[in-house]
Structure 1
Protein backbone atom coordinates (compact mmCIF):
# COMPACT_ATOMS: atom_id res chain seq x y z
CA UNK A 1 0.00 0.00 0.00
CA UNK A 2 1.37 3.43 -0.93
CA UNK A 3 1.86 6.19 1.64
CA UNK A 4 -0.95 8.26 0.12
CA UNK A 5 -3.37 5.32 0.46
CA UNK A 6 -2.32 4.81 4.08
CA UNK A 7 -2.97 8.45 4.92
CA UNK A 8 -6.36 8.32 3.21
CA UNK A 9 -7.32 5.19 5.15
CA UNK A 10 -6.20 6.77 8.42
CA UNK A 11 -8.25 9.86 7.65
CA UNK A 12 -11.37 7.78 7.02
CA UNK A 13 -10.89 5.79 10.23
CA UNK A 14 -10.42 8.94 12.32
CA UNK A 15 -13.57 10.43 10.80
CA UNK A 16 -15.47 7.30 11.77
CA UNK A 17 -14.50 7.50 15.45
CA UNK A 18 -16.33 10.24 17.36
CA UNK A 19 -14.38 9.63 20.61
CA UNK A 20 -10.64 9.27 21.26
CA UNK A 21 -9.23 5.94 20.06
CA UNK A 22 -5.88 4.53 21.14
CA UNK A 23 -2.92 4.23 18.83
CA UNK A 24 -2.90 0.46 19.36
CA UNK A 25 -6.54 0.20 18.23
CA UNK A 26 -5.87 2.40 15.20
CA UNK A 27 -2.78 0.45 14.14
CA UNK A 28 -4.68 -2.85 14.45
CA UNK A 29 -7.63 -1.51 12.42
CA UNK A 30 -5.34 -0.19 9.70
CA UNK A 31 -2.91 -3.11 9.70
CA UNK A 32 0.20 -0.97 10.22
CA UNK A 33 2.83 -0.79 12.93
CA UNK A 34 2.42 1.63 15.79
CA UNK A 35 5.55 3.46 14.62
CA UNK A 36 4.07 3.91 11.11
CA UNK A 37 0.81 5.10 12.66
CA UNK A 38 2.52 7.83 14.70
CA UNK A 39 4.44 8.94 11.61
CA UNK A 40 1.23 9.10 9.53
CA UNK A 41 -0.60 11.05 12.23
CA UNK A 42 2.25 13.57 12.18
CA UNK A 43 1.93 13.80 8.38
CA UNK A 44 -1.81 14.55 8.59
CA UNK A 45 -1.16 17.20 11.22
CA UNK A 46 1.46 18.80 8.98
CA UNK A 47 -1.15 19.05 6.21
CA UNK A 48 -3.60 20.87 8.47
CA UNK A 49 -5.62 18.15 10.18
CA UNK A 50 -6.53 19.02 13.78
CA UNK A 51 -5.84 15.73 15.57
CA UNK A 52 -5.93 15.94 19.35
CA UNK A 53 -4.32 13.39 21.63
CA UNK A 54 -1.01 11.69 22.26
CA UNK A 55 0.42 8.18 22.73
CA UNK A 56 -1.25 6.36 25.60
CA UNK A 57 -4.31 8.66 25.68
CA UNK A 58 -5.86 8.18 22.26
CA UNK A 59 -6.58 10.36 19.24
CA UNK A 60 -9.60 12.21 17.88
CA UNK A 61 -9.83 14.45 14.81
CA UNK A 62 -11.93 17.60 14.69
CA UNK A 63 -14.30 17.74 11.68
CA UNK A 64 -13.79 19.98 8.67
CA UNK A 65 -10.41 18.82 7.36
CA UNK A 66 -10.28 17.82 3.69
CA UNK A 67 -7.26 16.28 2.04
CA UNK A 68 -6.23 17.61 -1.38
CA UNK A 69 -6.86 15.44 -4.47
CA UNK A 70 -3.37 13.93 -4.21
CA UNK A 71 -4.81 11.61 -1.57
CA UNK A 72 -6.98 9.62 -3.98
CA UNK A 73 -6.66 5.87 -3.62
CA UNK A 74 -5.80 4.01 -6.83
CA UNK A 75 -9.36 2.78 -7.48
CA UNK A 76 -10.77 6.25 -6.73
CA UNK A 77 -8.37 7.79 -9.21
CA UNK A 78 -9.35 5.17 -11.81
CA UNK A 79 -13.03 6.01 -11.30
CA UNK A 80 -12.39 9.73 -11.70
CA UNK A 81 -10.26 9.32 -14.80
CA UNK A 82 -12.75 7.00 -16.49
CA UNK A 83 -15.67 9.26 -15.61
CA UNK A 84 -13.90 12.34 -16.95
CA UNK A 85 -12.96 10.54 -20.16
CA UNK A 86 -16.55 9.39 -20.66
CA UNK A 87 -17.81 12.94 -20.27
CA UNK A 88 -15.11 14.32 -22.54
CA UNK A 89 -16.15 11.80 -25.22
CA UNK A 90 -19.93 11.79 -24.81
CA UNK A 91 -20.82 15.13 -23.20
CA UNK A 92 -21.78 18.34 -24.93
CA UNK A 93 -18.95 20.75 -25.74
CA UNK A 94 -19.13 22.80 -22.54
CA UNK A 95 -19.32 19.76 -20.28
CA UNK A 96 -16.55 17.97 -22.21
CA UNK A 97 -14.26 20.97 -21.85
CA UNK A 98 -15.07 21.14 -18.14
CA UNK A 99 -14.16 17.47 -17.72
CA UNK A 100 -10.83 17.95 -19.51
CA UNK A 101 -9.97 20.99 -17.36
CA UNK A 102 -10.89 19.15 -14.17
CA UNK A 103 -8.66 16.21 -15.14
CA UNK A 104 -5.80 18.63 -15.85
CA UNK A 105 -6.22 20.16 -12.37
CA UNK A 106 -6.18 16.73 -10.73
CA UNK A 107 -3.07 15.79 -12.70
CA UNK A 108 -1.30 19.00 -11.65
CA UNK A 109 -1.57 18.28 -7.90
CA UNK A 110 -0.87 14.55 -7.93
CA UNK A 111 2.42 13.30 -6.50
CA UNK A 112 4.80 11.72 -8.99
CA UNK A 113 3.78 8.12 -8.24
CA UNK A 114 0.07 8.75 -8.86
CA UNK A 115 0.77 10.99 -11.85
CA UNK A 116 2.55 8.06 -13.47
CA UNK A 117 -0.46 5.83 -12.72
CA UNK A 118 -2.78 8.35 -14.35
CA UNK A 119 -0.58 8.63 -17.45
CA UNK A 120 -0.47 4.84 -17.76
CA UNK A 121 -4.18 4.32 -17.12
CA UNK A 122 -5.56 1.46 -19.20
CA UNK A 123 -9.20 2.53 -18.68
CA UNK A 124 -10.14 3.92 -22.08
CA UNK A 125 -13.42 5.00 -23.66
CA UNK A 126 -14.40 3.27 -26.89
CA UNK A 127 -15.92 5.10 -29.81
CA UNK A 128 -19.70 4.87 -29.93
CA UNK A 129 -22.74 6.38 -31.51
CA UNK A 130 -23.18 10.07 -30.88
CA UNK A 131 -26.07 11.82 -29.16
CA UNK A 132 -28.49 13.26 -31.78
CA UNK A 133 -27.94 16.95 -32.64
CA UNK A 134 -29.41 19.32 -30.09
CA UNK A 135 -31.12 22.60 -31.04
CA UNK A 136 -30.67 23.99 -27.51
CA UNK A 137 -27.37 24.48 -25.70
CA UNK A 138 -27.36 22.20 -22.66
CA UNK A 139 -25.72 25.03 -20.69
CA UNK A 140 -29.10 26.82 -20.67
CA UNK A 141 -30.81 23.75 -19.19
CA UNK A 142 -28.10 23.18 -16.58
CA UNK A 143 -28.10 26.85 -15.61
CA UNK A 144 -31.87 26.83 -15.07
CA UNK A 145 -31.54 23.78 -12.82
CA UNK A 146 -28.59 25.24 -10.91
CA UNK A 147 -30.15 28.67 -10.18
CA UNK A 148 -33.71 27.36 -9.80
CA UNK A 149 -35.40 29.41 -12.54
CA UNK A 150 -38.26 28.54 -14.84
CA UNK A 151 -37.80 27.64 -18.51
CA UNK A 152 -40.07 28.39 -21.43
CA UNK A 153 -39.85 25.47 -23.86
CA UNK A 154 -40.89 24.94 -27.43
CA UNK A 155 -41.16 21.16 -27.73
CA UNK A 156 -41.87 18.79 -30.59
CA UNK A 157 -43.92 15.80 -29.47
CA UNK A 158 -43.32 12.28 -30.89
CA UNK A 159 -46.34 12.85 -33.16
CA UNK A 160 -44.70 15.96 -34.61
CA UNK A 161 -46.89 18.61 -32.98
CA UNK A 162 -45.18 21.61 -31.37
CA UNK A 163 -46.14 22.43 -27.80
CA UNK A 164 -45.26 25.50 -25.72
CA UNK A 165 -44.56 24.80 -22.03
CA UNK A 166 -43.43 26.69 -18.95
CA UNK A 167 -41.59 24.28 -16.68
CA UNK A 168 -39.65 24.07 -13.43
CA UNK A 169 -36.57 22.00 -14.31
CA UNK A 170 -34.91 20.03 -11.54
CA UNK A 171 -32.71 17.35 -13.16
CA UNK A 172 -31.01 16.40 -16.41
CA UNK A 173 -30.56 12.66 -17.04
CA UNK A 174 -27.81 11.44 -19.37
CA UNK A 175 -28.27 8.18 -21.29
CA UNK A 176 -26.00 6.75 -23.98
CA UNK A 177 -27.93 8.30 -26.85
CA UNK A 178 -30.56 10.40 -25.10
CA UNK A 179 -30.75 13.21 -22.57
CA UNK A 180 -33.92 13.86 -20.63
CA UNK A 181 -34.91 17.09 -18.88
CA UNK A 182 -37.04 16.40 -15.80
CA UNK A 183 -39.51 19.14 -14.89
CA UNK A 184 -42.73 20.17 -13.23
CA UNK A 185 -44.97 21.30 -16.11
CA UNK A 186 -47.33 24.22 -15.41
CA UNK A 187 -49.57 23.28 -18.34
CA UNK A 188 -50.16 19.71 -17.09
CA UNK A 189 -49.83 20.44 -13.38
CA UNK A 190 -47.67 17.35 -13.06
CA UNK A 191 -44.16 16.01 -13.58
CA UNK A 192 -43.13 15.68 -17.21
CA UNK A 193 -39.89 14.59 -18.88
CA UNK A 194 -38.65 16.08 -22.15
CA UNK A 195 -36.07 14.58 -24.50
CA UNK A 196 -33.56 17.34 -25.17
CA UNK A 197 -33.23 16.48 -28.88
CA UNK A 198 -36.95 17.38 -29.24
CA UNK A 199 -36.61 20.77 -27.54
CA UNK A 200 -36.70 23.34 -30.34
CA UNK A 201 -36.08 26.39 -28.15
CA UNK A 202 -35.54 27.12 -24.47
CA UNK A 203 -35.76 30.54 -22.85
CA UNK A 204 -34.39 31.05 -19.35
CA UNK A 205 -36.92 33.14 -17.42
CA UNK A 206 -36.15 35.61 -14.63
CA UNK A 207 -38.86 33.99 -12.49
CA UNK A 208 -37.73 31.50 -9.89
CA UNK A 209 -39.43 28.14 -9.59
CA UNK A 210 -41.81 28.07 -6.59
CA UNK A 211 -40.03 24.96 -5.28
CA UNK A 212 -36.35 24.14 -5.11
CA UNK A 213 -34.83 21.41 -7.24
CA UNK A 214 -34.16 19.39 -4.08
CA UNK A 215 -37.84 19.58 -3.08
CA UNK A 216 -39.02 18.71 -6.59
CA UNK A 217 -36.65 15.75 -6.87
CA UNK A 218 -37.72 14.47 -3.45
CA UNK A 219 -41.40 14.75 -4.43
CA UNK A 220 -40.73 13.06 -7.77
CA UNK A 221 -39.06 10.15 -6.02
CA UNK A 222 -42.18 9.65 -3.92
CA UNK A 223 -44.57 9.45 -6.87
CA UNK A 224 -46.26 6.19 -7.77
CA UNK A 225 -44.40 6.10 -11.08
CA UNK A 226 -40.99 6.08 -9.39
CA UNK A 227 -41.78 3.83 -6.43
CA UNK A 228 -39.76 0.63 -6.64
CA UNK A 229 -37.88 1.65 -9.79
CA UNK A 230 -34.55 3.26 -10.60
CA UNK A 231 -34.60 6.71 -12.17
CA UNK A 232 -35.97 6.50 -15.70
CA UNK A 233 -35.15 2.84 -16.41
CA UNK A 234 -35.82 3.39 -20.10
CA UNK A 235 -35.03 6.41 -22.22
CA UNK A 236 -38.67 6.77 -23.24
CA UNK A 237 -40.30 6.14 -19.84
CA UNK A 238 -42.55 9.03 -18.87
CA UNK A 239 -41.19 11.21 -21.70
CA UNK A 240 -43.65 13.43 -23.51
Structure 2
Protein backbone atom coordinates (compact mmCIF):
# COMPACT_ATOMS: atom_id res chain seq x y z
CA UNK A 1 0.00 0.00 0.00
CA UNK A 2 1.42 3.39 -0.98
CA UNK A 3 1.61 6.24 1.52
CA UNK A 4 -1.12 8.15 -0.36
CA UNK A 5 -3.44 5.16 -0.18
CA UNK A 6 -2.64 4.72 3.52
CA UNK A 7 -3.50 8.35 4.29
CA UNK A 8 -6.74 8.01 2.36
CA UNK A 9 -7.62 4.86 4.29
CA UNK A 10 -6.82 6.64 7.56
CA UNK A 11 -9.21 9.46 6.64
CA UNK A 12 -11.99 6.95 5.87
CA UNK A 13 -11.23 5.08 9.09
CA UNK A 14 -11.42 8.22 11.23
CA UNK A 15 -14.73 9.13 9.58
CA UNK A 16 -16.17 5.80 10.72
CA UNK A 17 -15.70 6.71 14.40
CA UNK A 18 -18.16 8.97 16.20
CA UNK A 19 -15.92 9.17 19.25
CA UNK A 20 -12.12 9.44 19.63
CA UNK A 21 -10.45 6.31 18.26
CA UNK A 22 -7.46 4.91 20.18
CA UNK A 23 -4.19 5.24 18.27
CA UNK A 24 -3.29 1.58 18.77
CA UNK A 25 -6.59 0.50 17.20
CA UNK A 26 -6.07 2.74 14.17
CA UNK A 27 -2.51 1.49 13.74
CA UNK A 28 -3.61 -2.13 14.08
CA UNK A 29 -6.35 -1.70 11.47
CA UNK A 30 -3.93 -0.07 9.04
CA UNK A 31 -1.17 -2.57 9.75
CA UNK A 32 1.36 0.09 10.72
CA UNK A 33 3.31 1.06 13.81
CA UNK A 34 2.14 3.70 16.27
CA UNK A 35 5.08 5.87 15.27
CA UNK A 36 4.00 5.76 11.62
CA UNK A 37 0.41 6.51 12.64
CA UNK A 38 1.48 9.61 14.55
CA UNK A 39 3.47 10.78 11.51
CA UNK A 40 0.49 10.21 9.21
CA UNK A 41 -1.85 12.13 11.50
CA UNK A 42 0.61 15.02 11.67
CA UNK A 43 0.87 14.99 7.86
CA UNK A 44 -2.91 15.15 7.48
CA UNK A 45 -3.14 17.97 10.01
CA UNK A 46 -0.54 19.93 8.02
CA UNK A 47 -2.73 19.51 4.93
CA UNK A 48 -5.74 20.97 6.72
CA UNK A 49 -7.44 17.98 8.31
CA UNK A 50 -9.13 18.94 11.56
CA UNK A 51 -7.99 15.94 13.60
CA UNK A 52 -8.22 16.42 17.34
CA UNK A 53 -6.64 14.26 20.02
CA UNK A 54 -3.29 13.05 21.27
CA UNK A 55 -1.51 9.82 22.19
CA UNK A 56 -3.34 7.98 24.97
CA UNK A 57 -6.62 9.86 24.42
CA UNK A 58 -7.50 8.92 20.85
CA UNK A 59 -8.23 10.85 17.67
CA UNK A 60 -11.38 12.21 16.04
CA UNK A 61 -11.88 13.88 12.65
CA UNK A 62 -14.24 16.84 12.55
CA UNK A 63 -16.85 16.70 9.75
CA UNK A 64 -16.42 18.57 6.48
CA UNK A 65 -12.81 17.79 5.63
CA UNK A 66 -12.08 16.86 2.01
CA UNK A 67 -8.63 15.98 0.73
CA UNK A 68 -8.79 16.28 -3.08
CA UNK A 69 -5.29 14.96 -3.86
CA UNK A 70 -6.02 11.76 -1.92
CA UNK A 71 -9.57 11.05 -2.96
CA UNK A 72 -8.78 8.14 -5.30
CA UNK A 73 -7.41 4.65 -4.87
CA UNK A 74 -5.40 3.10 -7.71
CA UNK A 75 -8.46 1.05 -8.72
CA UNK A 76 -10.62 4.19 -8.79
CA UNK A 77 -8.02 5.93 -10.95
CA UNK A 78 -8.02 2.96 -13.35
CA UNK A 79 -11.81 3.20 -13.58
CA UNK A 80 -11.59 6.95 -14.27
CA UNK A 81 -8.94 6.50 -16.97
CA UNK A 82 -10.83 3.65 -18.65
CA UNK A 83 -14.09 5.58 -18.57
CA UNK A 84 -12.42 8.71 -19.94
CA UNK A 85 -10.82 6.73 -22.74
CA UNK A 86 -14.20 5.27 -23.68
CA UNK A 87 -15.74 8.75 -23.74
CA UNK A 88 -12.83 10.06 -25.80
CA UNK A 89 -13.21 7.34 -28.42
CA UNK A 90 -16.98 6.77 -28.48
CA UNK A 91 -18.61 10.19 -28.15
CA UNK A 92 -18.62 13.54 -29.93
CA UNK A 93 -15.61 15.83 -30.02
CA UNK A 94 -16.92 18.16 -27.28
CA UNK A 95 -17.29 15.36 -24.71
CA UNK A 96 -14.04 13.80 -25.88
CA UNK A 97 -12.11 16.99 -25.20
CA UNK A 98 -13.87 17.40 -21.84
CA UNK A 99 -12.90 13.87 -20.79
CA UNK A 100 -9.24 14.49 -21.60
CA UNK A 101 -9.34 17.88 -19.87
CA UNK A 102 -10.80 16.28 -16.73
CA UNK A 103 -7.93 13.79 -16.57
CA UNK A 104 -5.40 16.61 -16.88
CA UNK A 105 -7.06 18.41 -13.94
CA UNK A 106 -7.07 15.25 -11.85
CA UNK A 107 -3.42 14.57 -12.63
CA UNK A 108 -2.43 18.11 -11.60
CA UNK A 109 -3.48 17.56 -7.96
CA UNK A 110 -2.36 13.96 -7.47
CA UNK A 111 0.62 12.99 -5.33
CA UNK A 112 3.60 11.75 -7.35
CA UNK A 113 2.99 8.03 -6.80
CA UNK A 114 -0.65 8.22 -7.88
CA UNK A 115 0.21 10.51 -10.80
CA UNK A 116 2.66 7.84 -11.99
CA UNK A 117 -0.11 5.24 -11.71
CA UNK A 118 -2.34 7.49 -13.81
CA UNK A 119 0.32 8.08 -16.47
CA UNK A 120 1.23 4.40 -16.65
CA UNK A 121 -2.33 3.06 -16.78
CA UNK A 122 -2.50 -0.02 -19.01
CA UNK A 123 -6.26 -0.34 -19.56
CA UNK A 124 -7.35 0.60 -23.07
CA UNK A 125 -10.50 0.75 -25.18
CA UNK A 126 -10.44 -1.45 -28.28
CA UNK A 127 -11.60 -0.28 -31.71
CA UNK A 128 -15.32 -0.32 -32.45
CA UNK A 129 -16.62 -2.68 -35.15
CA UNK A 130 -18.65 0.12 -36.67
CA UNK A 131 -17.88 3.79 -36.91
CA UNK A 132 -20.49 5.98 -35.21
CA UNK A 133 -21.33 9.13 -37.14
CA UNK A 134 -20.94 12.23 -35.01
CA UNK A 135 -24.03 14.40 -34.81
CA UNK A 136 -23.81 18.17 -34.58
CA UNK A 137 -26.92 18.08 -32.39
CA UNK A 138 -25.27 16.37 -29.40
CA UNK A 139 -24.20 19.61 -27.64
CA UNK A 140 -27.70 21.04 -28.15
CA UNK A 141 -29.31 17.88 -26.81
CA UNK A 142 -27.14 17.92 -23.69
CA UNK A 143 -27.86 21.63 -23.23
CA UNK A 144 -31.60 20.96 -23.46
CA UNK A 145 -31.38 18.13 -20.93
CA UNK A 146 -29.35 20.21 -18.45
CA UNK A 147 -31.65 23.22 -18.79
CA UNK A 148 -34.90 21.19 -18.95
CA UNK A 149 -35.84 22.79 -22.27
CA UNK A 150 -38.22 21.45 -24.88
CA UNK A 151 -36.85 20.58 -28.30
CA UNK A 152 -38.59 20.13 -31.64
CA UNK A 153 -37.18 17.48 -33.95
CA UNK A 154 -37.86 16.30 -37.46
CA UNK A 155 -37.51 12.54 -37.17
CA UNK A 156 -37.27 9.64 -39.62
CA UNK A 157 -38.34 6.37 -38.03
CA UNK A 158 -37.24 2.84 -38.99
CA UNK A 159 -40.18 2.59 -41.42
CA UNK A 160 -38.79 5.67 -43.19
CA UNK A 161 -41.79 7.72 -42.09
CA UNK A 162 -41.03 11.34 -41.24
CA UNK A 163 -42.68 13.26 -38.40
CA UNK A 164 -42.20 16.43 -36.39
CA UNK A 165 -42.18 16.00 -32.61
CA UNK A 166 -41.91 18.29 -29.62
CA UNK A 167 -40.28 16.36 -26.80
CA UNK A 168 -39.03 16.89 -23.27
CA UNK A 169 -35.53 15.37 -23.34
CA UNK A 170 -34.19 13.97 -20.07
CA UNK A 171 -31.63 11.26 -20.94
CA UNK A 172 -29.12 10.40 -23.63
CA UNK A 173 -27.91 6.82 -23.90
CA UNK A 174 -24.46 6.06 -25.34
CA UNK A 175 -24.32 2.52 -26.69
CA UNK A 176 -21.27 1.17 -28.51
CA UNK A 177 -22.49 2.09 -31.98
CA UNK A 178 -25.75 3.86 -31.26
CA UNK A 179 -27.01 6.93 -29.41
CA UNK A 180 -30.58 7.05 -28.12
CA UNK A 181 -32.44 10.09 -26.81
CA UNK A 182 -35.16 9.46 -24.23
CA UNK A 183 -37.93 12.00 -23.80
CA UNK A 184 -41.60 12.64 -23.22
CA UNK A 185 -43.29 13.07 -26.60
CA UNK A 186 -46.11 15.61 -26.72
CA UNK A 187 -47.49 14.05 -29.90
CA UNK A 188 -47.76 10.53 -28.42
CA UNK A 189 -48.31 11.68 -24.82
CA UNK A 190 -45.82 9.18 -23.52
CA UNK A 191 -42.17 8.25 -23.22
CA UNK A 192 -40.43 7.62 -26.50
CA UNK A 193 -36.87 6.81 -27.66
CA UNK A 194 -35.23 8.40 -30.68
CA UNK A 195 -32.06 7.31 -32.43
CA UNK A 196 -29.93 10.40 -32.82
CA UNK A 197 -28.68 9.32 -36.23
CA UNK A 198 -32.29 9.53 -37.50
CA UNK A 199 -32.91 13.07 -36.26
CA UNK A 200 -33.02 15.14 -39.46
CA UNK A 201 -33.35 18.52 -37.77
CA UNK A 202 -33.37 19.80 -34.20
CA UNK A 203 -34.50 23.11 -32.75
CA UNK A 204 -33.86 24.06 -29.14
CA UNK A 205 -36.75 25.92 -27.54
CA UNK A 206 -36.42 28.58 -24.86
CA UNK A 207 -39.52 27.09 -23.22
CA UNK A 208 -38.96 24.87 -20.19
CA UNK A 209 -40.96 21.68 -19.99
CA UNK A 210 -43.54 21.69 -17.18
CA UNK A 211 -42.10 18.83 -15.09
CA UNK A 212 -38.69 18.39 -13.52
CA UNK A 213 -36.10 16.20 -15.23
CA UNK A 214 -35.63 14.15 -12.06
CA UNK A 215 -39.36 13.31 -12.00
CA UNK A 216 -39.39 12.30 -15.66
CA UNK A 217 -36.30 10.15 -15.19
CA UNK A 218 -37.85 8.39 -12.20
CA UNK A 219 -41.14 7.70 -14.02
CA UNK A 220 -39.29 6.47 -17.11
CA UNK A 221 -37.17 4.06 -15.06
CA UNK A 222 -40.30 2.61 -13.49
CA UNK A 223 -42.05 2.31 -16.87
CA UNK A 224 -39.01 0.62 -18.45
CA UNK A 225 -38.08 -1.43 -15.35
CA UNK A 226 -34.66 0.22 -15.23
CA UNK A 227 -33.01 0.06 -11.78
CA UNK A 228 -31.82 3.29 -10.18
CA UNK A 229 -28.05 3.77 -10.29
Does TM, normalized by the shorter one, top 0.5?
yes
Moved more, 6-15 or 53-62: 53-62
Shift of 1:55: 2.6
Aligned to 1:215: 215
Once the two structures are TM-superposed, the CA of residue 21 in structure 1 deviates from its matched residue by 2.2
Per-residue deviation, 1:71: 4.4
Alignment match, 1:109: 109
CA distance in 2 between counterparts of 1:145 and 1:69 reads 31
In structure 2, stretches of 5+ residues that fail to align are none
Q: CA deviation at 1:93?
A: 0.4
Are the aligned partners of 2:8 and 2:70 in contact in 1 as well (CA < 8 Å)?
no
Map Cα deviations across residues 98-146 of structure 1 (whole Å, 9 max, x no partner).
Answer: 1111112222222332232222221122222345324442111111111
Q: TM-score, normalised by structure 2?
A: 0.90
C-alpha displacement of 1:96: 0.5
Q: Could you tell me how far 1:52 is from its partner in structure 2?
A: 2.5
**1:175 shift after superposition:** 0.7
Q: Deviations over 1:151-209 (max 9, x none)?
A: 11111111011111111111111110111111111111211111111111221111112
Query: Which residue in 1 is equivalent to 2:5?
Result: 5
Q: Which runs of 5+ in 1 are unaligned?
A: 232-240
For residues 130-149 of structure 1, what are the structure 2 equivalents within 5 Å?
130-149=130-149
* SS of the residue 2:194 aligns to: strand
State whether structure 2 residue 31 is matched by structure 1 residue 23: no
Q: Distance in 1 between matches of 2:124 and 2:113?
A: 20
Question: CA distance change for structure 1 residues 135 and 74 in 2, over 3 Å: closer, same or farther?
Answer: closer
Correspondence for 1:78: 78
User: Whole-Å Cα distance in 2 between the matches of residues 181 and 106 of structure 1?
Assistant: 30
The answer as to whether partners of 2:50 and 2:62 remain within 8 angstroms in 1 is yes
1:126 is aligned to 2:126: yes
Q: Contact conserved, 2:92 with 2:134, CA < 8 A, in 1?
A: no
Partner Cα distance (2:61, 2:170) in 1: 37
Any conservation in 1 of the 2:4–2:114 contact (CA below 8 Å)? no
Aligned residues: 228
Checking the alignment, whether the CA contact within 8 Å between 2:157 and 2:198 is kept in structure 1 is yes
Alignment of 1:228-239 (within 5 A): 229=226
In 2: Cα distance, 1:205 partner to 1:17 partner:
51
